[in-house]
Amino acid sequence: AQSVTQLDSHVSVSEGTPVLLRCNYSSSYSPSLFWYVQHPNKGLQLLLKYTSAATLVKGINGFEAEFKKSETSFHLTKPSAHMSDAAEYFCVVSVRPDGNQFYFGTGTSLTVIP
């Protein structure tokens, strides 16, 4: 079975400081992993994805994530938070035998303090 655990339901950072949103996954097969962002009252937007190529993945708006198989982790980072980064972030796993079924984490709410 596949599952995703987002280790923090809320993260608060000051503007200009680094962001770390943690995600661990469980998968019986080689996974594809995604981070999506949802701004208030909006739909979901893809930030980045890992699909078995480079383990360090760069996404939009300065975000990146590193796939660590040994730790079953896919943490999302950004060197310097911006006010516009305040949103809900979802880590998602998908595995080939399940077709395109996505398994979502419960989300991390990021607050950026001016």
**At closest approach, how far in Å is the CB of 41 from another protein?**
8
Q: Which is nearer to another protein, 14 or 74 (CB)?
A: 74
Nearest approach, Cβ of 83 to another protein (angstroms)? 23
The contact set with another protein (CB under 8 A) reads 9, 32, 34, 36, 42-46, 49, 51, 90, 94-96, 99-102, 104-107
Q: DSSP for 30-92, please give it.
A: -EEEEEEEE-TT--EEEEEEESSS-SEEE-GGG-EEEEETTTTEEEEEESS--GGG-EEEEEE
